[in-house]
Structures are given as C-alpha cells and as structure tokens.
C-alpha cells in the first residue's frame, strides 16, 4: 500500500520535527538564502548583487521600476512594473535599456528573464530577446516563457580604470 508523501516526510525528518503548511516571510527568505548560498558555492562565481532601477513621482511614490540581480557575468530580471496611469510612454523599454546598461557596466554579457504570455506577449522579442524555453499551461490557458539576450561585451568592471 502506498503511503502519503506527508507520512513519508514525517518518517524521514529528524526526531521531534513537525510537518506543517505555510511559511512566514522569514522562513521563505531562509530557504532562498540557503539555496542561493549553495548555488553560489557550487558555481564558484561569487555573490549576486541586486539590480534595480526605479522611477518615482514628485512625492517619491514609485510609478515604474525593474529589479533583479547580476551574478557570474549574467543578469536576471525578475520584476518590471509600470503604473497603468503612465504606461504607453516608453517607460518599460527605457527601464529595460537602463537595466541592460547597468548589467554591462557590471561585466555581464547575458540577460535572462521569465515572463508569462498573458503579461507580455511579443514585448521582449521587440527588444531583441529570444525565447529559449516555453512551458505551456503555466498558468492554465497561457504559457511561461524564458528569454535571453546577449549584451555587448561584458567585462566593463574588469577594464583598466573601471574601478
């Protein structure tokens, strides 16, 4: 008779451990920190560095921004958002260009990102990105799409005088 995954987990966990649903933000951060630390150690390319470009209005409220990180000669862009009230002005494209420029400055020659067709069908292709993987049905009725873009020669940080 097959046992449930939870029963199996309870058998494998160290004595005295509890199995539960949900997690606090701190617990989620703990998982991410451990995975990133082990990945960095295995890859041997040093720590990641946050990358963010924000557009704020006169009162300091964020009206657009892009964030991600650089690591090992690559940049991963994770989140880009433009307030609906200021869309269709080219802010998204300008944010992408600014993030790419900063990535090159940090020595990156590759940018990757994941998005969903329900959000940005065709947008990243127009910016020179190529699809490298598609997961159909994520979310149901759409698809997730991994993109990459080769940047100009990275290594700006390693160039003489780039400090």
Residue 163 pLDDT > 70: no
**Nearest 5°: CA angle at 50, between 45 and 54?**
155
Residue 38 pLDDT > 50: yes
CATH topology of domain 47-158: Aminopeptidase (3.40.630)
Q: What does the alpha-carbon distance between residue 100 and residue 65 come to, in Å, rounded to a whole number?
A: 13
Q: Which residues contact 44 (CB under 8 A, 6 or more apart)?
A: none
Count other Cβ atoms within 10 Å, centred on residue 163. 5
pLDDT value for 25? 92
The residue extents of the domains of the chain are 47-158
User: If you average pLDDT over residues 37-58, what whole number do you get?
Assistant: 91
Give me the chain's average pLDDT, please.
89
Q: What does the alpha-carbon distance between residue 93 and residue 120 come to, in Å, rounded to a whole number?
A: 12
pLDDT value for 51? 98
**67-104 tens-digit pLDDT:** 999 999 999 999 999 999 999 999 999 999 999 999 99
Q: What does the alpha-carbon distance between residue 108 and residue 24 come to, in Å, rounded to a whole number?
A: 34
Percent of the chain residues past pLDDT 90, beyond the cut: 67
65 neighbors 51 (Cβ within 8 angstroms): no
Residue 28 structure tokens: 């989620």
Q: Which residues contact 81 (CB under 8 A, 6 or more apart)?
A: 64, 65, 66
pLDDT value for 2? 61
**Which residue in the block uniquely carries the two structure tokens 């470009």?**
53
145 neighbors 133 (Cβ within 8 angstroms): yes
Residue 13 structure tokens: 């966990």
pLDDT value for 158? 42
Q: What does the alpha-carbon distance between residue 144 and residue 135 come to, in Å, rounded to a whole number?
A: 5
């Amino acid at each position: 008779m097959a046992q449930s995954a939870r029963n199996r987990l309870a058998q494998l966990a160290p004595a005295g451990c509890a199995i539960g649903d949900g997690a606090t933000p701190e617990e989620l951060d703990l998982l991410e920190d451990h995975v990133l630390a082990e990945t960095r150690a295995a890859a041997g390319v040093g720590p990641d560095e946050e990358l963010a470009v924000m557009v704020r209005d006169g009162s300091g409220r964020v009206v657009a921004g892009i964030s991600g990180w650089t690591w090992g000669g690559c940049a991963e862009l994770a989140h880009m958002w433009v307030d609906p009230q200021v869309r269709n002005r080219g802010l998204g494209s300008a944010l992408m260009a600014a993030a790419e420029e900063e990535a090159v400055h940090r020595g990156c020659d590759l940018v990757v990102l994941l998005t969903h067709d329900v959000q940005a069908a065709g947008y990243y292709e127009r910016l020179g990105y190529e699809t490298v993987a598609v997961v159909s049905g994520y979310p149901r009725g759409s698809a997730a799409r991994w993109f990459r873009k080769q940047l100009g020669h990275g290594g700006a940080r390693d160039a003489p005088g780039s400090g």
